[in-house]
Structure 1
Amino acid sequence: MFGLRKFNAPVLKPAGPFIAGGLTVFYLVAKLQGAMIDSEEYRNDPRNPALAAGKKAH
């Protein structure tokens, strides 16, 4: 009754492009956040998390 069926529904194959797109967006957003933290405008801002982590202010 339960367990593997004769005709399994494909899950990963149709979801593959969405998984790849999600990983790409996650990577690009993380890279953009890192670039914004190191930008000249927010480099010495006290709300900058890089200052709390111990990076030196420029």
Structure 2
Amino acid sequence: MGHYWPFVVAGGCTWYIFSKIQASALESPEYKNSPKNPYLAKNAAAAEHH
């Protein structure tokens, strides 16, 4: 690993931040019921359950 550890840490942080942004964007009201949303079934089941 040596001198490359900062790049590995930065890559992990970038991956984590982008995954959180993507998850929050897919759960936003604008895209929550979009047929292109891969979480549509999960969102529909959660809305039906509550």
TM-score range, shorter chain: 0.7 to 0.9
TM-score of the superposition, structure 2-length normalised? 0.80
For the residues of structure 2 that align with 1:22 and 1:29, how far apart are their CA atoms? 11
Percent identity reads: 36
Normalised by the length of structure 1, the TM-score is 0.70
Residue 32 of structure 2 aligns to a residue whose secondary structure is coil
The answer to whether 1:41 aligns with 2:9 is no
Name the one with the larger helix percent. Answer: 2
Which ranges in structure 2 are unaligned for 5 or more consecutive residues? none
Aligned to 1:22: 11
Mapping of residues 6-17 of structure 1, within 5 Å: 12-17=1-6
Segments of 5+ residues of structure 1 without an aligned counterpart are 1-11
The runs of at least 4 aligned residues of structure 1 exceeding 6 Å deviation read: none
- Structure of higher CA gyration radius: 1
